[in-house]
Amino acid sequence: MSDLIEEAEGGNAPEFSVTELSGAVKRMIEGEFSHIRVRGELGRISRPASGHIYLTLKDDRSNLDAVIWKGTAARLSHRPEEGMEVVASGRMTTFAGQSKYQLVIEDMRPAGAGALMAMLEQRRIKLAAEGLFDAARKQELPFLPEVIGVVTSPSGAVIRDILHRLRDRFPRQVLIWPVAVQGEKCAQEVTAGIRGFNALTAGGHIPRPDLIIVARGGGSLEDLWGFNEEIVVRAAAESRIPLISAVGHETDTTLIDFAADYRAPTPTAAAERAVPVRMDILTWVQDCGARLSRGAQAVVTQRRVRLADLSRALPRPASLLETAQQRLDRVADRLEPALVQSVQTRSHHVQTVGARLVPALDRALAQKRLPYERACANLRPSVLSRAIADAQQKLNALERMRQSLGYTATLKRGYAVLRNETGLITTTAALRTASEVEVELADGKAQIKPLP
């Protein structure tokens, strides 16, 4: 600040405005600390809706406020978490509104493998407490999947090894979801791959996989860190499609291994677990067919021997017929006398019944004739004449009643009945609208013109 603070005459310091002083301090700090690296522990992390990250770097004696702008936060290889020991690179600046200085972080990495391992263990304990690694959540892998989805880099040796191993063992349809297998985009793309395969509809235009393999070759802890991210682990645990994790070499362990339904030591081992050996199945089927054929043949042979044993215990067919023939001969000898005797017995019975039938018929006829004789006695002429006279009187009375109740008697008293083509006319309106009018009087019917 020697260029700004000049001694005035008499040794008095010049006056500055607050803004001038704040600007001078800002230029000094940004000029002296334009690029620095700071090691410390993360504390008090804040993530507002703007996407920026505000945090504190601290050690056992001091705190340093820091900010990670939204664009930089999206490029970080590790998500900042409270308690993580990191090495942050950036520049110092001031915030004149509150007379504060802060570090603008442009890159941040864990402070060595020990810090990463500690953070990894903390995350593992946290996710295990939520039940994401429970054995009860594991799904059975299909014996022979029709479609296998592979989430991996499309250009690496891993996918070639998997396809080659599948082709050797049992060729299947393979869908590849290309992702970055390390770096800042790894976690997001792997998560999108797992959830994308699960979102496919069974029977749709793009077939839905029966099995998912998440694969990557070996690498350092930092290279494999994307498969330790919480979003990847949660996506693997939520997958409704059985999932095999094949990340790294046999000695490498990532958190997705705990959430997957099966952990393969290598990508090649994942392909071997995904499908059986086709020749082994063919050999097994042929062996089963041979065993079935031998078993069926043994059963037939056993039944044939048993049948032969039973046939020896049966009598000769001729001996069975001889007894029946002898019995038939004896019956035939007795048949003719039996028939003659039966005919004689039936004839005698018919004669006996006939002798009793004639008197019975005479008695029945006499009983039936008696009611008719009594009825004929009641049909004398005098009785019949009285009945006819009584009926005639009743008929005459009914005719007189009919004449008195009928409308013809009314017509004789001077009344008339009017009809049109639809029926009786009872109103003048109907009479005026009728096209033809028929009048019935006491002595007959006549046609008249309707009223105007």
Q: 10 Å Cβ neighbour count for 128?
A: 14
d(CA 235, CA 194): 7
Model pTM score? 0.51
Give the burial class of 296: count Cβ atoms within 10 A of its Cβ; 0-12 exposed, 13-18 middle, 19 or more buried: exposed
- Give the percent of the chain with pLDDT over 90: 35
Q: Which residues 6+ apart lie within 8 Å of 324 measured at CB?
A: none
What span, in angstroms and rounded, lies between the C-alpha atoms of 231 and 225?
Answer: 12
Amino acid identity, position 379: L
Q: Cα 230–235–237 angle (5° rounding)?
A: 95
Q: What DSSP element (H or E) covers 313? A: helix 278-313
Residue 364 CA to residue 123 CA, distance in Å, equals 119
28, amino acid identity: M
Would you write out the chain's pLDDT as a tens digit for each of its 452 residues? 455 545 445 456 778 888 888 888 888 888 888 888 888 888 888 889 888 999 999 887 888 999 999 888 888 877 787 777 888 899 998 887 777 888 999 988 877 656 677 778 888 999 999 999 999 999 999 999 999 999 999 988 999 999 999 999 999 999 999 999 988 889 999 999 999 999 999 888 999 999 999 999 888 877 888 899 999 999 999 999 999 999 988 888 899 999 999 999 999 999 999 999 988 889 889 999 999 999 999 999 999 989 888 888 777 777 777 778 878 878 887 888 888 888 888 887 877 877 777 788 778 888 887 887 777 766 666 667 787 888 888 888 887 777 777 777 777 777 788 888 778 878 887 777 777 888 878 788 888 776 66
Buried b (16+ CB within 10 A) or exposed e, 78-91: bbbeeebbbbbebe
- Please write the tens of the pLDDT for every residue from 113-137: 566 777 788 889 999 999 999 999 9
How many Å apart are CA 299 and CA 69, to the nearest integer? 82
Task: Output the six-digit token pair for 240.
Answer: 């409704």
CA distance 278 to 143: 12
